[in-house]
Amino acid sequence: MIIRTIHWQKLFIFSLGLFVGSAFCMKSMESDFLFNGDIFTIIGLEVTYSQEKVSAILAGLDNPVKNILRYHLAFDFAFMVGVYPGIAALCMIAREISKSKLLRKILFGLAALQTIAFACDVVENIYLFNWIKNPVINSKDFSNYHIVVIAKWIIALTGALLAIPLSLKQTKKV
């Protein structure tokens, strides 16, 4: 059991480095997300902005801002390679040290589901790349986009919010 945990810990450390590095790069670009003199946000594009607002923003971006948004989305792919395997590794670390059979099954399931969250994030970026090229957004696509985004957030946050405290709790006992 210790050997498996060490492998998951190494994956977590690698993923954490990739996560932090790519998050830093993406964060440094966000101040350049300007539309009509106001800053827009990725979380706004993902969750809070209406279909009309997303379409208006993407249609009205200057070419330099479009390029920055594209770079941000490209760095997001590196972020994905860090965050989802990292959450899966945390789930597996917590699973390896958990005594409850039910909790072990749940953690394994959440680790496996990170592949779905990863795929959802890829699909989300594909939608955004397409809409940057052609900002005409139909209602069905926008609804599907939101389903994908919400699924990604639910899976990732559930895995992280369950695994982190369990891993920390178990680490204190060791």
- Model confidence band, residue 168 (pLDDT cutoffs 50, 70, 90): confident
Residues 157 and 90 sit within 8 Å (Cβ to Cβ): no
Amino acid at 89: A
Q: How confident is the model at residue 169, as a pLDDT?
A: 74
Q: Which two tokens stand for residue 36?
A: 């009509």
Amino acid at 99: K
Q: What are phi and psi of 130, to 5 degrees?
A: -65, -40
Other CB atoms within 10 A of residue 69 CB: 22
Other CB atoms within 10 A of residue 174 CB: 5
Q: How confident is the model at residue 171, as a pLDDT?
A: 53
Residue 14 has pLDDT above 80, yes or no: yes
Q: Please name which of 87, 75, 77 lies closest in space to residue 16, comparing C-alpha atoms.
A: 87
Q: Which single residue is written with the structure tokens 């965050």?
A: 83
Mean pLDDT to the nearest integer, 142-160: 98
